[in-house]
Amino acid sequence: MWLWTVLVFFALPQVDGDVVVTPELEKRFPDNFSFGVSSSAYQIEGSWNVDGKGLSTWDFYLHKQPDIVEDCTNADVTTDSYRLFKRDIQMLKHLGVKSYRFSLSWTRILPDGTTNHINPRGIAHYRKFIDLLLENDILPFVTLYHWDLPIAFGKNGGWLNENTVDRFGDYARVAFSAFGDKVKNWITINEPFIHCLFSYELGLHPPLIKSPGKGFYECGRNLLLGHAKAYHIYDAEFRFQGGKVGLVVDAQWPIAASRSEEDAEAVKDYLAFYVGQYLDPVFKGDYPQRLTARVVATSTREGTEFRLRPFSEEEKKYIHGTYDFVGINHYNSVVVYRNESVNGMYEEPSFYDDVGIGTYMDDSWPASSFDSMRANAPGFYSLLLYLKDTYNNPVVFITENGFPLSSAEGLDDWKKVNYIRNYLDALMDARADGSNCQGYFFWSLMDSFEWTSGYGYKFGLYQVDFDDPDKKRTARKSALVYKEIIRTGTTDFNYNPDPYQYNGTVY
Ligand code: BGC
């Protein structure tokens, strides 16, 4: 009897004056938390010219100029997922994910990018794929645009040309109408910042347009208009399908190098240029004031034209409020500073000169195989709370988070395991402190083509043997641990001694 009394006493909330003290809750993700993994069409599909597919900028430029890519490779075949999609679904099933984020290839559906010709084989492929996901209880999160622009538009200024905005709207309408009965989570555009920086500021990604300090902003502006166009089309014509539409923004977390006032300003400017440039127009109706002010200041100093074209009142209204959720791709933190050493550090004009800050990685953070990515989970927590406080606590999905390793790491990828565990702990803490984050997608399901970095960076939970004609996939330790996290809804289980001995799950 005394035992029951003791148990009941500890299980019930205890009242201490006016304060109700509950026993500390176990750290656990709720059952409806959307665990998933991410990928993108060009990085995994291969079959670049199969079943009526048209050419994208990536197909075209990588054939023409292979040395754009570090190891002179391309994604003509890559993981061969267009052909092997059933195997990918078995892997998803093995992991136990509830959702899968993938992108549609625009030119598989509209080979020349326009609705002049809709490719029934492209549509049939994705319908089959989506049906099979749903049969396996996996919800599709579909990205319309993950950087593979139809070549005709790429040759015509790409996202610097407003015509691309309208054509994107047409494509979105075709996709909503072809798949919207099954797909309830839509992502319009992946990462405006990275896309505009690499394709239109630095000219390193197709269509290789180098327009520092100008093209970068123009691209971002048009991507926002394209996003808004797709959102309004969904709202006006497809809302009855009961889905949700959002934009995916990449957001790393800036940390001041010192307590100086200048470094504190550097943090705010970083957030305005890298994150606010895209989220403020959507959530608040215009560019952040400090972004505009800095570009005005640098343009005046240089005696150049004002390079950030303001939105008209009508455009502001058109973009404002176009979200049902926001997708965030987050990988790392970055240390930021501003002092005299930054003056004259960057080309003029350029986006970097406009922001006017220096950045570096903290050596004490665990390194990945990318110089620019080191793990710092507390930064992830801070970012989630910043989004909550700055944008009125929107529904957030972490649409990418990951840690690349070199092939030397093999299957026993403990560094990735630690990364996942620490980042998910940070996510749980942020949720406990009010973040409305409802899902997490690890990047990536398997190793794949890492854009201009080629095949050397291993982001996958599954290792892919690219020399094997069958592109054999093998579960890494990180896959088995992520599977257990999903199964238990917690990160808190016994990793050592290791109950997840690599068991040779091969696909
Ligand atoms: C992109 C992915 C890419 C990943 C890792 C993101 O910027 O959306 O396509 O593979 O980062 O670099």
HEC assignment per residue over 103-132? ECCHHHHCCCCCCCCCCHHHHHHHHHHHHH
Domain locations in the chain?
Answer: 19-495
For residue 256, what are the β-bridge partners?
A: 336
Element (H, E) at 457: none
- Please confirm, yes or no, whether 305 is among the known catalytic residues: no
For residue 209 the two structure tokens come to 């347009």
Query: Which residues are within 8 A (CB) of 463 and not within 5 positions of it... i.e. 6 or more apart?
Result: 410, 411, 446, 447, 473, 474, 475, 476
pLDDT of residue 154: 98
Of 103, 398, 400, 442, best ligand 1 pocket probe by most atoms within 8 Å of the beta carbon: 400
pLDDT of residue 23: 41
Is 19-495 a CATH 3.40.190.10 domain? no
The CA–CA distances, whole Å, from 403 to 99, 287, 367, 420 equal: 20, 31, 9, 8
**Cα 194 to middle of ligand 1, angstroms:** 9
pLDDT of residue 498: 67
Residue nearest to atom 3 of ligand 1 (CA): 450
pLDDT of residue 504: 66
* Catalytic pick among 201, 315, 400, 409: 400
Task: Find out whether the beta carbon of 443 lies less than 6 Å from any atom of ligand 1.
Answer: yes
pLDDT of residue 12: 39
Element (H, E) at 464: strand 462-464
pLDDT of residue 496: 67
Q: 358: helix, coil or strand?
A: strand
**Cα 317 to middle of ligand 1, angstroms:** 30
Task: Find out whether the beta carbon of 103 lies less than 6 Å from any atom of ligand 1.
Answer: no
Ligand 1: nearest atom to the Cα of 250:
7
Q: Where are the beta strands (DSSP E) in 287-387?
A: 325-329, 333-337, 358-360
Give average pLDDT by consecutive 10-residue segment, the chain, 507 residues. 37 39 66 98 98 98 98 98 98 97 99 98 98 98 99 98 99 99 98 98 98 98 99 99 98 98 98 99 98 96 91 98 98 98 96 98 97 97 98 98 94 95 97 98 98 98 97 95 95 73 77
Ligand 1: nearest atom to the Cα of 147:
9
Alpha helix (H) residue ranges in 303-413: 313-319, 351-355, 377-390
pLDDT of residue 493: 79
Task: Find out whether the beta carbon of 250 lies less than 6 Å from any atom of ligand 1.
Answer: yes
The CA–CA distances, whole Å, from 290 to 39, 249, 348, 390 equal: 34, 19, 19, 15
Contact 133, 127 (CB under 8 A): no
- Please confirm, yes or no, whether 400 is among the known catalytic residues: yes
Of 196, 329, 374, 452, best ligand 1 pocket probe by most atoms within 8 Å of the beta carbon: 329
pTM for this entry: 0.94
pLDDT of residue 16: 38
Tell me the torsion sign for CA atoms 57, 59, 64, 67: positive
**Cα 297 to middle of ligand 1, angstroms:** 32
Placement of tokens 């005005």 in the chain: 296
Q: Is the backbone peptide bond immediately before 499 cis, with ω within 30 degrees of 0?
A: no
